[in-house]
Amino acid sequence: MSTDATATAESSIPWRSSTLYVILSSSLIGVMGVSLLSPVLPSLRSVFAISDSQVGLVITAYTLPGIFLTPFMGLVADRLGRRQVIIPLLFLFGAAGAGISLSSSFAEVLALRFLQGIGASALVTLAVTLIGDFYEGGRRNAIMGLNGSMVGAGAAVYPLIGGALAGIRWNVPFLFFGTAILVGLAAVFVLDEPEQGEPTGVPEYLRRMRDVIVLPEALAIFAVILVVFFVFYGAVLTALPLLLSDEFGLGSGQIGPILAMVSLASATVSSQYGRVSQWRTAPELLALGFVAYGTSLLGVWLAPSPIFVGAALLAFGVGFGVVMPSIDTTVVTLVSGDLRAGMMGMRTSMLRLGQTLGPIAFTFVADTAFASSLTGYRTLLLVAGCVVAAAGSVGYALLRR
């Protein structure tokens, strides 16, 4: 076999592998929890007679468990095995999420969202960890890009599904979460446990994890993750749907397609990550992603109509499409296999922290610091766009020097 043919084979995607589909499905389930519900958030205000700040708690209750539990889940997965963790999490996610459809009070919604958040806490973490476990080299990069593309495609479709189902009744979208139970059943039969060496003692494991976490490269990655998801979940997935509802009078079915623009662009760009990663280094791609984020938010701020909002969100999706595969590739290659789930757990913990703080910060500040929440959302979009774009531009210039 020629060198080119060998390289192609090594970077090809094993489409006939049932394990691959379980991994991709687990990632898709992991990003379903917020994307599916974003178009539904404005409707919850009238259903439960709650304020914008309380609406943000629907996301916060879901993301909060991941801040504290994901590192622990990673440790358990490294010690006891990936199957022992990911399968129960899939069942919990599906059961708690579908159970919200029967809630009669906002307190019940938040309690079940918290349980669902426990189930979601390490799904994407373990899916990416399994990619690092089962695949190497060019094939790993190709599948990492595919995983990012599938996540982006799923996140693009979820707002459409959520908006359409909410048109039937507010609680119907929650039933869709039950698909996680089907993925869990498939994992029981087809997911193998990756081969791992003999685990070290817990004190030694924690010492090695500490040594990796304090590396400058690791700290920089964690900071990037925090900012990315603080802005994404605060500005795009929480503040923007409320702004579209209040300023343009859009319903759930109309908000969904607009938000889907982010994921549509992200899926397209992620699918080409193998090629993009040969053009610029991972740090440079991260900086360019920040420039795209900031440009997008400024475009949303300037947009005179919902159509222009959707067009501006395409730039956010482009940034997301290069940032997330760059982060995940960096994290999984930073440590050895016996620390990989733990390190991915730390990555997801920072991700969840951003997801948790973003919705609270944007809705609270808009509600309390401005004459109207609508004015607050617009101002926050402007400020966030300027700060993020400037940070990305400066970072890229320094890296190129």
Confidence check: pLDDT of 192 > 80:
yes
Contact yes or no for 11/137 (Cβ under 8 A): yes
Q: What is the CATH number of domain 17-191+201-400?
A: 1.20.1250.20
- Residue extents of the structural domains in the chain: 17-191+201-400
Encode 76-109: b = buried (16+ Cβ within 10 Å), e = exposed: bbbbeebbebbbebbbbbbbbbbbbbebeebeeb
| Residue 365 pLDDT exceeds 50 | yes
- Band (3; pLDDT cuts 50, 70, 90): very low
9-64 per-position pLDDT tens digit = 455 777 888 889 999 999 899 888 888 887 888 888 888 888 877 888 888 899 88
pLDDT digits (tens, 9 = 90+) for 193-247: 777 666 666 778 778 888 888 888 888 888 888 998 899 988 888 889 888 888 8
pTM of the model: 0.71
Helices (H), 36-178: 41-47, 52-80, 83-99, 106-120, 123-134, 137-166, 172-175
**Region 340-349: what's the mean pLDDT?**
78
In sequence order, what DSSP letters do the residues of 307-367 get, joined into one string? HHHHHHHHHHHHHHHHHHHHHHHHHHHHS-HHHHHHHHHHHHHHHHHHHHHHHHHHHHHHH
Q: Are 239 and 380 in contact (CB under 8 A)?
A: yes
Instruction: State the CB neighbour count (10 A cutoff) for residue 16.
Output: 7
What is the distance between the alpha carbons of residues 193 and 160, in angstroms, rounded to a whole number?
35
